[in-house]
Amino acid sequence: MDIQFFIELFFGGLTRGSIYALIAIGYTLVYGIIELINFAHGEIYMLGAFTALLVAGALGVYGFPTESILLISALVAVIWCSAYGFTVEKIAYKPLRGAPRLSPLISAIGMSIFLQNYVLLAQTSDFVPFPRLLPPMEFLEYIDYIMGPSDFLILIASALSMGALTLFIRFTKMGKAMRATAQNRKMALLLGINADRIISLTFVIGSALAALGGVLIASHMGQVNFGIGFIAGMKAFTAAVLGGIGSIPGAMVGGLTLGLAESYTTGYFSGNYEDILAFAILILILIFRPDGILGKAKVQKV
Amino acid sequence: MSRISKAFFTALWFMLLTLPVMGIKLNLMENRVDWRLDRVLYLGVAAFFLSMLWTWLFSRKKRNLPLIKAPAFIKIDFYGLSANRAVRRGFFASLILGLIAVPLLASFYQTNIMISAMLYIMLALGLNIVVGLAGQLVLGYVAFYAVGAYAYGLLHQYFGFGFWICLPVGGILAALFGLGLGFPVLRLRGDYLAIVTLGFGEIARLAMLNWTSLTGGPRGISDIPRPGFFGIPLNINEATIYIYYLALIAVCLTVVVVLRLKNSRVGLALQAVREDEIASEAMGIDITRAKLSAFALGSCWAGFAGVIFAAKTTFINPASFTFMESAMILSMVVLGGMGSISGVIIAAVILIMAPEYLRAFSEYRMLIFGAIMVLMMIFRPQGLVSGEKRDYQVSALARKEADAQ
Amino acid sequence: MKKYLAGAALSVALGFCVSALAADGTIKIGVQGAHSGELASYGVPSLNAVKIVADEVNANGGINGQMIEVIAQDDECKPEKATSAATKLISDGAKVIVGPICSGPTTASLPLFQNSGIIAISPTATTPALTEEGKYPLFMRTVAKDNAQARLTSDFMLNKLKVKKVAYLHDNGDYGKGFADYNRELLEKGGAETVLFEAVTPDAVDFSAVVRKLRRAKPDIIVFGGYQPVASKLVQQMRRDRLTTPFIGPDGVKDETFLKMTGKDSEGVYASYPKDTSSLESFKRATEQHRKIYNTEPGFGYYNAYAATLALLDAIAKAGTAEDTDAINAILRENYVDTPIGRIKFNDKGDAAGMALSIYQAKDGEFVELEDNIVLD
């Protein structure tokens, strides 16, 4: 076997997997707390990419230095998308607490369609070029056939943000409150945790990470379009399910596993089956091991 | 006052929120940024009033008041009228007569639109069996539609089968696919089921796309014949009118079957499963059978509709069977009211006709579909016409409740 | 039942007569294509072109005293919408059609136009079967069919670049896969070995796996079938991963946006495209008119639609009436017309004769025309 090829595919899968993991965390956090598949989450990723693109474009026109543009636009995208996530929750999900299970899901699908068309109508149906902002990185010169600057940035940024999230969840008061709410919402309420605030917080965090993923991918692939959220969202959801939905380490593991699986499938078989593979994994896991790799089996509550 | 200030801040929030996407337009050709702040401002004004409306609707919802009260001068008692047998019969007779007359009076184009509308009525009613009656959210319904369409296309291409053989075959094949999907997903909960069926729908589409040697891949299948009239070849106008009547008959048949089904043993079992799976199992309902029959029946209609669709357009390719199509059919069921037959029909007609006749609407169609799905869930989850649930009143219990109040 | 049908047919026929009579004052040109939704950017430029030509003709007194009326129908490039759009155009009394834009809707609409005796000229539908099968004698197009492009590109690769090993990538769409398929057929006949033939997922978040596979396959050239967005992503990722294999694509790749998106990475990329006609007087005029009215550069298919409209109106003027389909059809096939895409007429299949295709190569952020070209006949 060709070892170099194997390693190349490994790093390709890692890049792709980190992005899936970043988005998957949003699904998993929300599902962990309110048991809702936030279908509109992929659209937040798309909005992140689009917002960054618009801001970066505008800053570029006004002559800002290249290094600051990426940073500012990423920051704006993250903040704005957190606000989008917050608003989406307030409009489409909060009024439906306690409604039958399917209602919020349908509402989420509606929201997803709405957001896609909002961007389509407000901006354009075309692919829009994302400005090149990454400086060349000299220390990557020796391994540039397996990793370019944007791959490097994706790996670093997602590792850092996921690390920060893990620390936040584990050690801060808010993080503990989140975990408590996820374990038992009623109990958490009794202990004086403001569940509404925790739910908003989950949406804000999830959206921020998705937006970050959007910015990273936009600068990696060099273009953005209103429709990129659907397939990325589906893949990320698959990753979340694969790792065990509701579990944060699960989302990371699931994302990387899916990324690697896709990379190797394309590498050794054919790119035609990339999407089929993801959907097939999704279906098989949901049917045979709905709790995923790292999830715990749950008892059905009556 | 607080209401106004709240609306004001909501408007500000939305203006800020939409500032980048609505407000910035990049003109890279001339390296220029066009700030379109006027649009953000309009949006703010709209958000202000919508927020007022939203709060008002919410307060009514909280107090359990009807969202919109019919003005007092409308004195016609629709419910009383619809309960009156003679009026009902008269209404349906005139409706059917009207529909029969459509191709004679309307233009070729309008007949064509009516066929589309009827296909969607069939699809929506079929999905209604699964989603509305049995409460199983299926997001890949369009796959069964595709099975029907491709069954006709492929059977014709490879074996030269005609429309009339393919119509039942397409329906049966789709039903088999429905069963095939139904078996493994039996024990899945609502939202997982939704995602699995979505995955199934996408896989079906990708299979059509990639299995080029069989399906022609992205190129699709062309030259699918329109149905002949007992061996007499028809020209396109005649064939369209013929398909119109076929679709009309199919829709009537669907309505009758769904109506009968709803009040049959199976139908009642399905509704029980929808309301409470565990309780209905405890009451001796065979959940497996109930769910599987819902899947089979629901997908069967999609198969029929698919065959008629293929005959109507004479050309099919995978691009016609995307997730958005599933979402559109679902929004018809949601808008119409899950479980309600008349509601679903009305919703399907509105959602198909509106974009055709209102050009301005057409561009915003999907935006409005999305909004409808969200708003309906929040303010009127029972749909335009609420699914007529059977209400049983145990008199003693009712009296007790009255006493308690 | 039969009686009904006869009656129905009669009423429809009557409807046509009435609308035809009512339309006496104007000549109605139908425009069908994607005017809204995801693919609007492929359809709207054509609509603009027809409107611009029609306005100009009307300002000069119309054709034989008759004004031109443009009626547009949106099909969103979806076959199922196309039949409605086509029937609407027929019902509204359109005499000639510019469109449809995408190949799928064209396949679905043509039987309807054919049946009603309406001439349709598509500015952009490239599926060869539309004209090759000869089923639609009233259909023509002002664009090169996919296999004509492949004839040029495969010839160029075999004889000029002397390629031996070829990798094919496509976007799994009708157009893209078609281009890859036709090239493969011709190149294999010419003795080039296929080392990779694969689809890429247009929406994927990363193309590194396929790029690495390309590197391992060591092709002499990569043939890409599809449009600019996927092509630019691929090229960027290839160059980033230091894969410098030549890259060749169809006309969907030669686009300003491609150059803008790929920047320096575009250097050396080949694409086939209609021969540069920007020195033609009518090309300059068409560009100027678009700039004046819409304040932007013309988009995809604009010149093709412009040419289609010019040819149609010219034929109607020569025939003296918009009603005589056969006469118009005959004139279109005999008479050369000067258009922004060259001096063209239509051959007996319905393809534009006189159009030329060239190979272009990106150099310093611009597509430069090479000397390799074919003239279609």
Could you tell me the pTM of the whole model?
A: 0.86
Q: Which CATH architecture has domain C2-144+279-354?
A: 3-Layer(aba) Sandwich (3.40)
Examine the pLDDT at C21 and tell me if it is beyond 50. no
Spatial separation of the C-alpha atoms in residues A4 and A21, rounded to whole Å = 25
Place of tokens 């909005």: A47
- Joined together, the tokens standing for residue C356 give 């030329």
Q: In one letter, which amino acid is C33? A: G
Per-residue pLDDT of chain B (405 residues; tens, 9 = 90+): 688 888 999 999 999 999 888 888 887 767 788 888 888 999 999 999 999 998 888 888 888 776 666 555 555 555 566 667 777 788 888 888 888 888 888 777 888 888 989 999 999 999 999 988 888 888 899 999 999 999 999 999 899 888 889 999 999 999 999 998 888 887 787 778 888 898 999 999 999 988 888 888 888 888 888 887 777 777 777 888 889 999 999 999 999 998 888 888 888 888 888 888 888 888 888 888 888 999 999 999 999 999 999 998 888 988 889 888 898 898 888 888 877 888 889 888 888 887 777 766 777 888 888 888 898 888 888 777 765 555 555 565 666 666 655
* CB-based contact C138:C119 (threshold 8 Å): yes
Give the integer Cα–Cα distance in Å for B274 and B277. 7
Chain B environment of C8 (Cβ under 8 Å): 103-104, 237-238, 241
**One domain for residues B193 and B136:** yes
- Under a CB-based contact definition with an 8 Å cutoff, are residues C366 and C258 in contact? no
Domain with B47, as residue range(s), is 2-62
CATH number of the domain residue B254 falls in: 1.10.3470
Q: What is the total count of domains within chain B?
A: 2
Contact flag A271-C232 (C-beta cutoff 8 Å): no
In percent, the amount of chain A with pLDDT more than 70 equals 96
Classify residue A219 by burial, with Cβ atoms within 10 Å: 0-12, 13-18, 19+: buried
Of B13, B39, B62, which residue is a domain's last? B62
* H/E segment holding residue C221: strand C221-225
Average pLDDT over residues A274-288: 87
pLDDT in tens, C202-238: 888 888 888 888 988 899 999 999 888 889 889 988 8
Say which of B21, B202, B374 has its CB closest to residue A122: B21
B69 occurs within a structural domain: no
Residue C140, CA distances (Å) to A64, A291, B251 in order: 51, 57, 39
Cβ atoms of B142 and B201 within 8 Å: the answer is: yes
Q: Residue B156: CA atoms inside 13 Å, Cβ hemisphere, count? A: 26
Q: Does one domain contain both B247 and B125?
A: yes
The amino acid that residue C337 corresponds to is: V
Percent over 70 (pLDDT), chain C:
94
Q: Strands of B241-384 (E only): list them.
A: none
Angle at B337 between CA B331 and CA B342, to 5 degrees: 105
More confident residue, B70 or A280: A280
Please name the helix (run of DSSP H) or strand (run of DSSP E) that holds residue A269, with its range, or none: none
Q: What is the distance in angstroms between the CA of the first residue and the CA of the last residue of chain A?
A: 53
Regarding whether B181 and B33 lie in a shared domain, the answer is no
B20 and B155: one domain?
no
- Cα angle vertex C31, ends C25, C37, to 5°? 140
Residue spans in chain C of domains classed CATH 3.40.50.2300 = 2-144+279-354, 147-275+357-375
Are A13 and A251 a contacting pair, CB within 8 Å?
A: no
Q: How is residue A3 written in tokens?
A: 């070892």
Contact A126 C41 (CB under 8 A): yes
Distance from C-alpha of C333 to C-alpha of C349, rounded to nearest angstrom? 9
Assigned token pair, C234? 């691929």
Q: Specify which residues C343 forms β-bridges with.
A: C338
| B86: helix, strand or coil | helix
CB count within 10 Å of CB C211 equals 26
Q: Which residues of C168-201 are buried (b: 16+ CB within 10 A; e: fewer)?
A: bbbbbbbbbbbbbbbbbebbeeeebebbbbbbbb
- Contact partners for chain C, using 3 or more CB pairs closer than 8 A, are A, B
User: Helix or strand or coil: residue C62?
Assistant: coil
Confidence of residue C7 (pLDDT cuts 50, 70, 90): very low
Least CB–CB distance from B320: residue in C78, C92, C129: C78
Question: Rounded CA gap, A16 and A213, in Å?
Answer: 10
* pLDDT over 80 (residue C11): no
Which residues are CB-neighbours of B376 under 8 A, at least 6 positions away? B334, B335, B383
Instruction: Give the contacts of B167 (CB within 8 A, at least 6 positions apart).
Output: B152, B304, B307, B308
Helix extents (H) in chain C: 2-22, 40-59, 79-91, 103-115, 129-132, 146-155, 174-189, 208-217, 228-240, 256-262, 281-294, 302-319, 325-334
Mean pLDDT for the stretch of residues C175-202: 90
Q: With bands split at pLDDT 50, 70 and 90, how would you rate the model's confidence at C2?
A: very low
Comparing CA positions, the residue from C375, C311, C340, C320 lying closest to residue C29 is C311
Tokens of C54: 């029609």
Neighbours of chain A (3+ CB pairs under 8 A): B, C
Round to whole Å and give the CA distance between B109 and A285.
47
- Does residue A21 have a pLDDT over 90? yes
Cα(C297)–Cα(C307) distance, integer angstroms:
17
Amino acid at A258: L
The pLDDT value recorded for residue C20 is: 43
Which letter does DSSP use for residue C66 in this model? B
When scoring B21, B278, B322 by the number of chain A Cβ atoms within 10 A, the one with the most, hence best to mutate, is: B21
Helix spans in chain A (H): 3-34, 41-61, 66-88, 102-122, 149-171, 173-183, 185-190, 195-221, 228-243, 248-268, 274-288
Residue A43: what pLDDT? 95
Tokens (6 digits) for B242? 């013929």
Alpha carbon dihedral C148, C199, B313, C121, in 10-degree steps, equals -30
Residues B223 and B299 in one domain: yes
CB contact under 8 A, C209 and A11: no
Q: Any idea which residue has 């060349």 for tokens? A: A136
- Cβ(A275)–Cβ(C201) under 8 Å? yes
State the maximum Cα–Cα separation within chain C, in Å, rounded to a whole number: 73
Calculate the alpha carbon distances from C276 to A184, C46, C179, C283, C368 in Å. Answer: 69, 19, 21, 10, 9
Chain A residues with beta carbon closer than 8 angstroms to that of B39: 122
Angstrom distances, CA of residue C213 to CA of A198, A269, B39, B124, C195: 46, 10, 47, 45, 10
Of C254, C222, C255, which is closest to residue C359 (Cα–Cα)?
A: C254
pLDDT exceeds cutoff 70 at A63: yes
Q: How many angstroms away from the CA of B188 is the closest CA of chain A?
A: 7
Q: Is A267 on the interface with C (CB under 8 A)?
A: yes
pLDDT in tens, C153-185: 999 999 989 999 999 999 888 888 888 999 999
Options 3.30.365.10, 3.40.50.920, 3.90.550.10, 3.40.50.2300; which CATH number does C147-275+357-375 get? 3.40.50.2300
Q: Are residues B54 and B120 in the same domain?
A: no
Cβ pair B319:C115 closer than 8 A = no
Which residue's structure tokens are 């098989």? A284
Q: Is residue B373 part of a domain?
A: yes
The ipTM assigned to this model is: 0.86
The total number of residues written for chain C in this structure: 377
Q: Are C174 and C229 in contact (CB under 8 A)?
A: no
Q: Which tokens belong to C293?
A: 């009215």
CA distances from C328 to A13, B342, B401, C60, C118 (A): 59, 50, 82, 21, 10
Task: Judge whether B278 lies within some domain.
Answer: yes
**Residue B359's pLDDT is what?**
65
- Quick one: tokens of B142? 């369009």
Pick from B258, B39, B145, B373: which is nearest to A39 by CA?
B373
Structure token digits, residue B389: 């649930």
Q: Which chain A residues are closer than 8 Å to B198 by Cβ? A: 234
Cα distance from B44 to chain A (closest Cα, Å)?
15
The verdict on a CB contact (< 8 Å) between B33 and A57 is: yes
The whole-number pLDDT of residue C22 equals 43
Name the residue in chain B with its Cα closest to that of C15. B107
Q: Answer for the pair C353, C376: CB distance below 8 angstroms, yes or no.
A: yes
Structure confidence at residue B79 (pLDDT): 59
Residue of B nearest to C18 (CA): B107
Instruction: Examine residue B147 and state whether it is found in any structural domain, yes or no.
Output: yes
The reply to whether B53 and B185 lie within a common domain is no
In a domain, B81, yes or no: no
Instruction: Choose among A9, A145, A222: nearest Cβ to C233.
Output: A222
The residue with tokens 């045979």 is A288
Q: Which fold has domain A13-288?
A: ABC transporter involved in vitamin B12 uptake, BtuC (1.10.3470)
In terms of pLDDT, which residue wins out, A230 or A136?
Answer: A230
Amino acid at residue number A118: Y
The token pair at B364 is 């915003």
Exposure on the CB side of residue A293, measured as CA atoms within 13 A:
18
Set of chain C residues whose Cβ sits within 8 Å of the Cβ of B112: 83-84, 87-88
Which of C320, C321, C285, C319 has its CA nearest to residue C303? C285
Do both B182 and B288 map to the same domain? yes
Is C212 an 8 Å CB contact of chain A?
yes
Beta bridge partners of C225: C170
In a domain, residue B146? The reply is yes
The amino acid that residue C164 corresponds to is: K
Question: Strand, coil or helix: what is B25?
Answer: strand
